Structure 1
Amino acid sequence: MINSEHERLRLEAVRRHNILDTPPDGTYDALAELAMRMLDCAAGVVSIVDSNRIWLKSHPGLDVDELERDDGLCASAVLQDGPWIVENAAVDPRTLTNPLVAGELGLRFYAGIPLRTAEGFNLGMLAVVDTKPRSLTGQELYNLKLIARVVVELLELRVAARSEAAEARQVNH
């Protein structure tokens, strides 16, 4: 069950980061691809979970820019405090009826690390997905967490840069 006050504050944090619907960025793409290749998965994503959609800032291996929030695994994962791992989505009760699992894509493996801000809000996920079941080693999970931390740093740097630019405009006026 979603805590409505926490979700409201989380969505405010998403808005403050002003990342939704921004153009592709090679740095985010490189990090998503690194995660994908490091784990030999079909796709890697940097997702931002909005109120009614999951927008993909980066998605090497997937030919989609966004998903309905109810359809994407990142929407469930973003509500967790830590990593959300689904080793075999076809038999996991959390995911077996999901359209990405039961449908044409045939998703089987999902590993997502929340993109948690300093204030404690998960904006989205760094995730890898595959069409075959698998598990993660402790080292692989650690590496995913490191990449997610770099993604969060990039997101926070965007906010800081915009804030500094706004302050500079105020001083010059």
Structure 2
Amino acid sequence: MKVVVDEVKRLDALRRYEILDTPPDGAFDRITALASKMFNMPIAIISLVDNDRIWFKSKFGIDGVEQIDREPGLCASAILSNEVYLVENAIEDPRCLTNPLVCGEFGLRFYAAAPLTTKEGYNLGTFCVIDKKQRYLSREQMQMLEDLASIVVDEIEIRLAARKTLAKSYQRITQLELENKELRGQ
């Protein structure tokens, strides 16, 4: 699928899902914990790239951080791709040399992210695995990361569909109650 790079439309799509700043969710947390085990990585994150920040819907292996600035952000770069964005050794990768997560105290060395791509082609964020040491992923592992990202998007879609169904049901109940009142002459 081709990535849609219209930032205004991408942000509109992100907001349509009403997922930013929502409470922790056990399903997403289980997926990031599973990814950490599958890839033998200390950190796994489901991130959503907003206008000026990268917000973590779920994170495994880091505590006390809910979001980071969008620039310079690896996730902000990864959403521009339609495949796994891979940084095997960040300290030697020209894309990362000024990134504070690489140069600073955190010491990021490895980053692999599959975009969270909607059926319309908008990359809402990423599913990423991170390490503080140089690592490599096989093609099979990259495919697994893409599969996990697809599962996350499916979960986001299911939640949106459920909210829409509930809203329609509520509207229908309200309409029936009004009709009932009218029939009873109230």
TM-score (norm 2): 0.88
Taking the aligned partners of 2:84 and 2:143, their CA distance within structure 1 comes to: 10
Q: Which residues in structure 2 correspond to 1:11-160 (within 5 Å)?
A: 11-63=11-63, 64-160=65-161
- CA displacement, residues 49-76 of structure 1 (integer Å, 9 cap, x when unaligned): 0000000011111121100001421111
Identify unmatched segments of 5+ residues in structure 1: none
Aligned-partner residue type, residue 149 of structure 1:
S
- Paired residue type of 2:87: V
Question: How far off its partner does 1:171 sit?
Answer: 1.1
Alpha-carbon RMSD = 1.0
Shift of 1:143: 1.1
Percent of aligned pairs sharing the same letter: 49
Shift of 1:145: 1.2
Following TM superposition, by how much is the alpha carbon of 1:160 offset from its aligned partner in structure 2, in angstroms?
A: 0.5
Instruction: Tell me, yes or no, if the aligned pair for 1:85 and 1:110 is still in contact at 8 Å.
Output: yes
Query: Where do 4+ consecutive residues of structure 1 move more than 2 Å?
Result: none
TM-score of the pair, normalised by structure 1: 0.95
Residue 172 of structure 1 corresponds to: 173
Tell me the SS of whatever aligns to 2:105. coil
Partner SS, residue 140 of structure 1:
helix
Letter in structure 2 aligned against 1:130: D
Q: Report if aligned partners of 1:71, 1:100 keep a CA contact under 8 Å in 2.
A: no
Shift of 1:78: 1.0
- Could you list the per-position Cα deviations for residues 117-172 of structure 1 after superposition, in whole angstroms to 9, with x for gaps in the alignment? 01110110000000011110112111111111110100001110111111111211
**How far apart are the structure 2 equivalents of 1:118 and 1:145?**
14
Q: Which runs of 5+ in 2 are unaligned?
A: 175-186
Q: CA deviation at 1:79?
A: 1.5
